[in-house]
Chain A
Amino acid sequence: MSDYTAYAVLAGRSVRLTRRNPDAVITALVLPVMLMLVFVYFFGGAIETSTGTYVTYVAPGVLILCAGYGASMTATTVSDDMTNGIIDRFRSMDTSPTAVLTGHVAASVARNAAATSAVLGVAFAIGFRPHAGVVDWLAACGILLLYITTLSWLGAAAGLLAKSPEAAGGFTFGMLFLPYPSSAFVPIDTMPDWLHGFAENQPVTPVIESLRGLLLDQPTGDSPWLALAWCLGLLAVALPVCAALFRRRTG
């Protein structure tokens, strides 16, 4: 059998399982929208940014945040597969483990595409006004897609590492937390000095600065290249780590 079929079949499986899991749908779609409304209406009045309305500043940040939620679910679904019997069935059928994990990553990308659409739709309705051409949009989507894929593979690694699906969710805490000490929600120069070094040099900041720069037609500087380097670097770590963890888990 061509591996391509296994990839397609297992991606379809993961997407179907996500759709049928009410928790997953709520976490993937409702939570990001709620978070954006909280940021805009509860906190936004107190936050001064250079982009006019706060929703325009924060919408890209919310997209990054929901990428974290979407990817953290990958940890849970991968761990689910590893702790019930189905992984043994797939292995005894000679299905490649990469295809199983890629299926979960594909579902994560699909969840995030839906979440991104929902967040952008609501953002437009409450005043998000980007200034971007087609090329800028495509570039922004590309970076977002790469970021989501990277986080999802890290999530898959967490799922392989954890002993239970609950623990797997906990392992992804870092992904959910990293957007806060970045420029996602407030400009870094409003943070205490000791935090600047971390906030400016962690992976979320160049990703968010790229999105904001591209969508709001502001100078991006070297952010897109830094974002690319971070994501590809993390992927280069996550993929072999997943392979090694899978072998250890099933050895």
Chain B
Amino acid sequence: MHREPRPSWAIETRGLSKAYGSVPVLKGLDLQVRRGSVFALLGPNGAGKTTTVRILATLARADTGQATVAGHDVVAARSRVRRAISLTGQYAALDEEQTGLENLRMMARLRGRSPAAARRRAAELLERFALTGAGDRRVSTYSGGMRRRLDIAAGLVGDPEVVFLDEPTTGLDPRSRRTMWATVGSLAGAGVTVFLTTQYLEEADQLADRVAVLDRGRIRAEGTPEELKKTVTAQRLDLTMAGSAAYQALVGRLGGRALHRAPEELVLGVATDGSAAHVRALLDELDPTREQVARFALHSATLDDVFLELTHE
């Protein structure tokens, strides 16, 4: 096979592990993120998402394993990595008592731009993130969505190759979340590699070219959103139970296998490949007396289903 002249991976990790004290947070993480793609690390709270981002952004060190970002080792070539990335964390890394323009100018100066170039770059970014009108106001007067946009803009002053966004929409209202999605989309369009973490399946589905599901320090599945939906569970069989007693009994038997629960409608969903044989087998298994299930329906699985199936106890 022909070797590429430069690594095609923007991010590559092998066996990353990290523990805080005796608590393991990451247990051997292997990831590969293609240049210019949007990669989502999806997982519940405490899965290890932020730790992963901090290791990749050189802010924390893995106990074992290796990681390269933009072709540089995160430990051995820390400065090179830092010059190639930007990080937007969960908490706005901005000075509340400086204006939006001042914050951006400061970051651009720290990235080595001359005062005049820094001013130009700041004005450009304000315009691109629809903040021009707010540029001369102090950040303390900004809404949550404006703050997050400015925070991402601040990360872009140095034209990074890889942008890390740690839960970019957590705490935003739905409208601001849509705006943020558009922002992330435009980054990817410009050839930047985006590595984002999220607890929202819809977000990963909307934004990412590839998704890895992280749970308790391990990758449970990885692929395009479509692949994940197919490989793990192509379809969901929704069973409408005959009564609340039947519903409760089946909830008890299914436990974590239940992908979907709607107690008011007495509906429970389970994974299936959608074949007649499998549906028949499931019905026989879950309702041996043929009295408990009143109706059934098949749905295409959502990423939510995948996530629940992968992360159940």
B106 close to A89 (CB less than 8 A): no
B112 close to A1 (CB less than 8 A): yes
**Please, which residues of chain A bring their CB within 8 A of the CB of B111?**
1, 93
A96, B306: Cα distance in complex, Å: 44
A residues 118-147 in Cβ contact with B at 8 Å: none
**Please, which residues of chain B bring their CB within 8 A of the CB of A94?**
78-79, 82-83
Asked whether A52 is an interface residue with its Cβ less than 8 Å from the other chain, the reply is no
**Please, which residues of chain B bring their CB within 8 A of the CB of A95?**
110
Whether A92 contacts B58 in the complex (CB less than 8 A), given A16-B102, A17-B97, comes out as yes
A1, B89: Cα distance in complex, Å: 24
A89 close to B97 (CB less than 8 A): no
Most chain B beta carbons < 10 A, residue from A16, A86, A93, A95: A93
Binary interface encoding of chain B residues 104-130 relative to chain A, with 1 for a CB under 8 A from any of its CBs, else 0: 001101111000000000000000000
A6 close to B57 (CB less than 8 A): no
Chain B residue at minimum C-beta to C-beta distance from A87: B93
Nearest-neighbour CB distance to chain A for B282, whole angstroms, equals 48
A85 close to B92 (CB less than 8 A): yes
B82 close to A21 (CB less than 8 A): no
A residues 1-45 in Cβ contact with B at 8 Å: 1, 5-6, 9-10, 13, 16-17, 20-21
Nearest-neighbour CB distance to chain B for A192, whole angstroms, equals 46
Asked whether A250 is an interface residue with its Cβ less than 8 Å from the other chain, the reply is yes
Asked whether B202 is an interface residue with its Cβ less than 8 Å from the other chain, the reply is no
A17, B93: Cα distance in complex, Å: 15
Binary interface encoding of chain B residues 146-179 relative to chain A, with 1 for a CB under 8 A from any of its CBs, else 0: 0000000011001000000000000000000000
Contact among A13, A88, A250 for B95, CB-based, below 8 A? A13
Whether A13 contacts B106 in the complex (CB less than 8 A), given A92-B57, A94-B82, A250-B59, comes out as yes
A170, B85: Cα distance in complex, Å: 37
- Chain B contact residue count (CB 8 A cutoff): 33
Chain A residue at minimum C-beta to C-beta distance from B85: A92
Most chain B beta carbons < 10 A, residue from A17, A90, A94: A94
Asked whether A84 is an interface residue with its Cβ less than 8 Å from the other chain, the reply is yes
Asked whether B91 is an interface residue with its Cβ less than 8 Å from the other chain, the reply is yes
B109 close to A89 (CB less than 8 A): no
Interface residues on chain A, size class: 20 to 34
Asked whether B302 is an interface residue with its Cβ less than 8 Å from the other chain, the reply is no
Binary interface encoding of chain B residues 57-97 relative to chain A, with 1 for a CB under 8 A from any of its CBs, else 0: 11111000000000000000011001101110111111101
Contact among A6, A92, A251 for B87, CB-based, below 8 A? A92
Whether A9 contacts B95 in the complex (CB less than 8 A), given A1-B111, A91-B59, A92-B57, comes out as no
Contact among A20, A89, A250, A251 for B93, CB-based, below 8 A? A89
Binary interface encoding of chain A residues 61-102 relative to chain B, with 1 for a CB under 8 A from any of its CBs, else 0: 000000000000000000000001110111111110000000
**Please, which residues of chain A bring their CB within 8 A of the CB of B107?**
89, 93
Contact among A5, A86, A88, A90 for B109, CB-based, below 8 A? A5
B106 close to A88 (CB less than 8 A): no
Nearest-neighbour CB distance to chain A for B148, whole angstroms, equals 12
**Please, which residues of chain B bring their CB within 8 A of the CB of A250?**
59
Nearest-neighbour CB distance to chain B for A80, whole angstroms, equals 10
**Please, which residues of chain B bring their CB within 8 A of the CB of A1?**
110-112
Binary interface encoding of chain B residues 13-50 relative to chain A, with 1 for a CB under 8 A from any of its CBs, else 0: 00000000000000000000000000000000000000
Can you show 12 pairs from A to B with CB atoms below 8 A apart? Answer: A6-B110, A9-B106, A9-B109, A17-B98, A86-B95, A89-B93, A89-B107, A92-B82, A92-B86, A94-B82, A94-B83, A251-B61
Known pairs A86-B95, A88-B54, A95-B110 / 7 extra A-B pairs, C-beta < 8 Å: A1-B111, A5-B110, A88-B59, A89-B87, A92-B82, A92-B87, A94-B79
